[in-house]
Chains A and B, each alone.
Chain A
Amino acid sequence: MGVIEVRGLAKSYRVYQKREGLLASLRGLFHREYREVRAVRGIDLTVDQGEFVAFLGPNGAGKTTTLKLLSGVISPSGGSATVLGHVPWKRENAYRRRFALVMGQKNQLWWDLPAQESFRLHQQIYRIEPEAFQRSLRELTELLGVGRLLAQPVRELSLGERMKMELTAALLHSPDVLFLDEPTIGLDVVAQHNIQQFLKFYQEKRQITILLTSHYMKDVAALCKRVVIIAQGAIKYDGSLSGILDRFSGHKVITLLFAEDQPVEDLERFGTLLEIQPPKARLRVPRGEVARILAAILSRHTIADVAVEDPPLEEVIAEMFSQVDVESPPGESAAAGLQHR
């Protein structure tokens, strides 16, 4: 049995539909139209202990809703889930002491006080033994390099520093399960990299179970062996990162560097020409025909260098998402994104 067991989990929202204009606003006082948004539509998922799983999907796909369900912030409309043997939305303290949720856009620390005060509060509410608390705090602040910032009011920290403090606060009680919702959103490349390195190290050392949502493919590539793609509230893919390419991209990209200044014409007949800057050209070709096409090109031209690569993951996934959007009936694609109003 996995640490996280999800069966047929579903969540629908009733969303108020307001037409444009003042008149419609007045009408809305007496009669309101609601639309049911099915943010999560019956997903099944099993995550074992020590797994680091990424949730990918376009905005409003149901990723965050799923994390909210698993952390017990909201209750489902249907289906079941257990995390560490607990039903999350019962919000038992025994469960709440064993997991943590970090949201990149939300602050859990006391804004006007130094982070160490918030940490002290966490020590009490999570009932962490003083010794274990000191040990965790030292370890986390050393790994994240924020030891010298502990006494500075949180409002005076940079976004990156604040996220490190958020992570420290979330991990002080050594949770067995960690939910990360866009932990690197808005951070610069260096801060993103630091946080990735930290998460990788910490997860490998402690073997905790982590569910991560992120729009940065670098986060995902650096951290997660398993990827779950959610779109329109349903799981579209569950497997390895490289498996996405095998399954959703039927193409490879061939980059050619021609030896001499020769006319680089008639390349179109081998595949889709992506870019041409003599003496360099990039071609997209069907996966199964790489060998044949390469042989044909080599027999006709003198080539100085050649590279055969998978298309960038971002491209594959973006393409996949756009297909999903096209398939979906109008007004449904934004799913959970509409729940705010």
Chain B
Amino acid sequence: MVAGMYARVAVWWTILRIALEERLVYRGDFALGTLMRFLPIVTQLFLWWAIFESIRDTRGVAAGEPVELAGFRYTDMVAYYLLVMVARAFSSMPGLASGIALQIRNGEIKKYLVQPVDLLGFLLLNRVAHKLAYYSVALGPFALVFFLCRDYFQTGWLDAGTIAAFIASLVMSFLLGYFLEAAIGLVGFWFLEVSSLLFVYMLLSFFLSGHMFPLDLLGEPWRTLVEVLPLQYLAYFPAAVFLKKVTGPALVQGLCLQAAWLLFFIFLSRWLFHRGVRRYSGFGG
């Protein structure tokens, strides 16, 4: 029992280590890609600054007074975007779904069927390696940006409970993002090409995960829609936890719902894999 567990951990560790090494092969691309992540947020912050200023003009708010939009002041908005950037650094899975579908189409997936290794576990460890490599490089710039923007965080120092909830929501957002995209990729067993499905997902995710704007800005029926979808747990929810927009029983409920969605997608991707392999015809020689 213990030996089996030890062997399993050794496998995980080796996969993780090798994936990490592979990640570091293309140093230039990797470093550039990491730093480029910071660019879009700058344009978004300028955009919101312009929006808040125009609201100030229309409402005739005095220069020193804060302007609020659905409970967000400009400083909250900056803090929100920085936190969403952190959340998405956990939950986004570039190339995962399309990669799985491609491997199904060109037959590379065979290697996971022949070898005593679990595809979903293997790819998960790969993603962990991607993320670790990413954070090790991005930690510096992230820390610098957060330090420069420290005045935008009005919440002050967080209590241990909120920090724990924030970390839990981030970890779950990573896993949820992984299993959700893996499930989309595994649809490739039926349709071979999943790029349209992926496009729809990306589009929905862009607007309804809180990536583009805080979900508090949405009116009905969108608000209800967002509540019943899992997308908000990929970006909005961790940020809202940090900013204490969600507290008390609502926080507990939110974490439970996030965990429930996570379990659902773990189950769904397992089921899709199981069913998909049964109808798989082993394309490509």
Contact = CB atoms under 8 A, between A and B. Distances in A.
B120 to A, nearest CB: 14
A72 B13 CA distance: 27
B43 interface: no
Interface string A279-316: 00000000000000000000000000000000000000
B284 A340 contact: yes
Nearest to A118: B18
B192 to A, nearest CB: 10
A236 interface: no
A113 B285 contact: no
A121 interface: yes
B29 to A, nearest CB: 12
Nearest to A127: B7
Interface string A70-81: 011111000000
B16 to A, nearest CB: 11
The 5 closest A-B pairs by CB, nearest first: A96-B116, A124-B14, A93-B116, A124-B11, A68-B282
Contact of A112 (B25, B110, B116, B284): B25
A73 B116 contact: no
A3 B111 CA distance: 23
B14 A106 contact: no
Contacts of A127: 7
Given A106-B107, A112-B25, A120-B14, A340 B283 contact: yes
A18 B120 CA distance: 34
B59 interface: no
Contacts of A121: 14-15, 18
The secondary structure that dominates the A interface is mixed
A110 interface: yes
Interface residues of A, number: 37
A71 B283 contact: no
Nearest to A100: B114
Interface in A55-71: 64-65, 68, 71
Given A106-B107, A110-B18, A124-B11, A72 B114 contact: yes
21 contacts: A65-B282, A68-B282, A71-B113, A72-B114, A93-B116, A96-B115, A96-B116, A100-B114, A103-B110, A106-B285, A110-B22, A117-B21, A120-B18, A124-B7, A125-B11, A126-B115, A126-B116, A181-B285, A339-B281, A339-B283, A340-B283
A13 interface: yes
A137 interface: no
Contacts of B21: 113, 117
Contact of B117 (A13, A103, A125): A125
A101 B113 CA distance: 11
Interface core residue of B7, B278, B280, B282 (most chain A CB under 10 Å): B282
A110 B108 CA distance: 12
A101 B114 contact: yes
B33 to A, nearest CB: 16
B28 to A, nearest CB: 14
Given A73-B113, A106-B107, A125-B115, A113 B18 contact: yes
B55 interface: no
A71 B11 CA distance: 22
B217 interface: no
Interface in B89-145: 107-108, 110-111, 113-117
Interface in A132-154: 153
A81 B10 CA distance: 33
Contacts of A25: none
B195 to A, nearest CB: 16
A206 interface: no
Interface string B1-17: 00000010011011100
B285 A105 contact: yes
B114 A96 contact: yes
A97 B116 contact: yes
A340 B282 CA distance: 9
Contacts of B18: 110, 113, 117-118, 120-121
Interface in B79-97: none
A108 interface: yes
Interface core residue of B21, B26, B107, B115 (most chain A CB under 10 Å): B115
Contacts of B22: 110, 112-113
A108 B111 contact: yes
Contacts of A123: 14
A75 B113 CA distance: 12
A218 interface: no
A35 interface: no
